[in-house]
Structure 1
Amino acid sequence: MWRDNRIDEDVAYFYHHDAHGRLTEKDERQIRDGGGYVHHYHYDNRHRLVHYRREQQGITLLESRYLYDPPGRRIGKRVWKSRRTYGEITGNEYIQLSHTPEVTWYGWDGDRLTTTETATQRVQTIYTPGSFTPLIRVETQTAELAKAVRRTLAEKFQQEANVTFPPELVAMVDNLEAELQRGELSAANRAWLAQCGLTPEQIQNQMEPEYTPERTIHLYHCDHRGLPLALVNAEGKADWSAEYDAWGDVLSENNPHNMKQLIRLPGQQYDEETGLYYNRYRYYDPLQGRYITQDPIGGAGGWNLYQYPLNPVSKIDPLGLSAWSDAKSGACTEGICLLFSPFIGPEKFSDPDTAALDALKKINGQSICEDKEFAGLICMDNKKNYFATEANRGEEHESSPFDSPCPGSTVIATYHTHGAYSFGYADDFFSKRDVGVYEYNNVLGYLGTPGGEFKKTDKSGKEFFSKKELTTVCRIHAN
């Protein structure tokens, strides 16, 4: 046991924390020439890592600094690496940090990191809709991006004539250029050009050509959690691949093209300089399988403030805040997910009726036992297969199906039960409140009744069918 769940040492390092529970120093146990490495970590007043330094015998070997935007997303980092130099007079060898850092900038779409740009390349990531699972990688060299820079007509005219146009004229020229690019020149702009004694062809010849940069596109092949296993090129061959342990630490990597594939577990970005994974609100240490700072919400997040999901094979933590059961959600349908889904995912069906019937068969008896409503959603994944979210327990005459949301998939319908028969309630029928929910959310509705009826209605309350398919025996289904 460690005090406050802070690990003081393991087989590789000694660890030191400050009064806020943040990792501030990590000392290497390994005996190497020149002494072991010492890692220093510094934070701002919002507990974000802003400065890292690696030393050996008091000499700084590497230093990095991190920059964040107001919502707390990391938008840039600078890394200074050391180099060996020789004294001009003595000829003695010594180590010195480079004066010029390696700079990386980041772009975001909400909480998903979509762009990473360095001095040599820009990498853009397209994700599976509604998830943190990477789908497509687009890599563009900086030299190609520079070729794509072109002047607008307004910029060209002003620079070559050494004049400054008023904003109104810039807007008119920009509009003219946009119409010429579309091949849809308006009558007003034709008249304007005629007044100036110009033809559309003359102006078109002044427009600088568009250049489309050469891009390299790869498809991500991920496991059931969204952890990249391979990058597949247009010929269907893997240009990069890796194997990991259960906590996302790389065990082996095949990287013949020296690609910078930095995405790890969902929401994580590998930092080569620290060995840590940036995880939106915190930094994750894959060697320990835990975070280096405490949970931002404190004890409300659980008794272990450094914990990554205890079962990383089926759960993920894309924001560094709480576990998601995405592997079991049914949203993940690609690659190895297809193989794992029978074991860790929800059962899939070819139509929503069967998915709803399967869900209601499991809970109708328990609903009658407890005389409480149970409810959930019927979802459709990107393969057009249907599954039910886990039913949540409501009250005697009330339930909330949307408390069990469809993760990264389309909501098709709700399903719920009515519990046991109650005096004054028409428990064998859809209520006005039920139909109101369907109409407001534009979904179908399924109902399990205390009489064992399995019912379906549209958003207007029109009933499609009523079948005696469900148990009326008071029993609890064992999942």
Structure 2
Amino acid sequence: MSGKPAARQGDMTQYGGSIVQGSAGVRIGAPTGVACSVCPGGVTSGHPVNPLLGAKVLPGETDIALPGPLPFILSRTYSSYRTKTPAPVGSLGPGWKMPADIRLQLRDNTLILSDNGGRSLYFEHLFPGEDGYSRSESLWLVRGGVAKLDEGHRLAALWQALPEELRLSPHRYLATNSPQGPWWLLGWCERVPEADEVLPAPLPPYRVLTGLVDRFGRTQTFHREAAGEFSGEITGVTDGAWRHFRLVLTTQAQRAEEARQQAISGGTEPSAFPDTLPGYTEYGRDNGIRLSAVWLTHDPEYPENLPAAPLVRYGWTPRGELAVVYDRSGKQVRSFTYDDKYRGRMVAHRHTGRPEIRYRYDSDGRVTEQLNPAGLSYTYQYEKDRITITDSLDRREVLHTQGEAGLKRVVKKEHADGSVTQSQFDAVGRLRAQTDAAGRTTEYSPDVVTGLITRITTPDGRASAFYYNHHNQLTSATGPDGLELRREYDELGRLIQETAPDGDITRYRYDNPHSDLPCATEDATGSRKTMTWSRYGQLLSFTDCSGYVTRYDHDRFGQMTAVHREEGLSQYRAYDSRGQLIAVKDTQGHETRYEYNIAGDLTAVIAPDGSRNGTQYDAWGKAVRTTQGGLTRSMEYDAAGRVIRLTSENGSHTTFRYDVLDRLIQEQPAV
């Protein structure tokens, strides 16, 4: 590993002060490189709360995800956690963030990489061509200015995938968390000068995400406004398949005027909707600009058939908080409520068709209660290095922690039955050992640089070993029995051969230097299977080793619409505006139809002969009654969502009992 070291969560400077706040975990440049930045240690409780931070979190909700290379995936994450060095509020409002909401601050001797959640990672100043490396995040930050990196550098091959103008520009910074990419390009909304151009004065003291480049040279571009009321904001995205998306932004004044006009047209009194917002929240500076909708405006595969409605719409409270989300069918799918006193602090949320979950906080802004009207509720008590979680069945768990903020980890857990499990971590928060309630220990050996697991030793002393190449790809895995899995890759990092533990060999062939999708596979006997793909990475045809061809059709959303087999037999699928499968028809015209409730649960299947099988659900989407062929089965649940009574089709009953750890301990048929 080369490069200057980077400070991380919980690191201490030479003067003894913590220099990074916020949650650990990379979420930069999704769809790849995503980790749960709002959940240190991956610990959540209920619906969900991060007890280590005392924060209400929503780790990831996806609103747009079309198929293709470097697709534009619009996902939202929320955390009520407030850092000491918050980044500016993004276009989804306080507490929320999108993958593109990252910023690199350039200070005199320090570079600070921050995301919209306030997580900050400190690097030393970089000269052109230098790089910094964060061991805790496995993240590189490189400054442009050289045509090539050192030959032995892990990123040398990935660097060459960049266009020359990006590599040579000393005004750009690039980040990645994998030698396989992609690169996250950090520039500014104005055109970045070439290496030999006269620079504008002064240079902006920051860089923002302007695009991504993968190892095949494919790009995703974020179009930011260079001037005007939306200066610096993303108003368009071009993905790796050359689709273009338009992001509609609004100011607080525009939203206030729209609210007044709606009130007038509806004959009601206008609500208190201020024309401006305070310029600062507990979640950072706030310019009041919000994302209203996202439209697909260009699709190379369907140029004349663009959607007539936005792919997603957002609604806002008068205080600029995200209130509702509408899907591409125009139906509301999410709603959120916030504290009257603390802007951006979520106190309730719900999925359409589901109960509302509510939250209460203490004076320090930590969640103390999670209220579920149709299931388990939780309370949280916080002490120094200790969190107690009690559910509404009076079951208690105690988490004993070490570390601070994003490096806080659970080192001991007292379970509801009194048993104890323990964990050990290294200095950057990586798991080294786990001891179960019986005292049996499993050990993990992460690579000191990459963090990749190189060895797992089970309590009986048996070990599995893992080996990787210079690009962090698994090349060999040996189990406790000595059997070995081997993999080989080409210069682009694509899998070209895999040898199974039993010696069977599978080879992969590629016919496109700009794709990671194989065109054929061959086994040890020479049997060959071939595949063809669409520009969006969807399987178009599959030819098996006997030459039998199956062809597939898809719509723009990646949904399979037809399967054609060689005998002339085809199957056709239809979807509603929400993307739910509503019908399957064969070549003879036999059709099976599907119905759903407002929450998206499958409620009925109507067979070609008209017979109907139905399912009824409770508030949480658990099946409580199913009818098939005129026969009915019913289920009853307790507050923990466990089946406690089953009534079969013949009317017989079976009851179930569980222990405090949700393990089934008794199944009792009715006498």
TM score, norm. by length of structure 1: 0.23
Q: Which has the higher contact order (CA 8 A, sep 6+)?
A: 2
More helix by percentage: 1
More strand by percentage: 2
Look at both structures and tell me which one has the larger radius of gyration over its CA atoms: 1
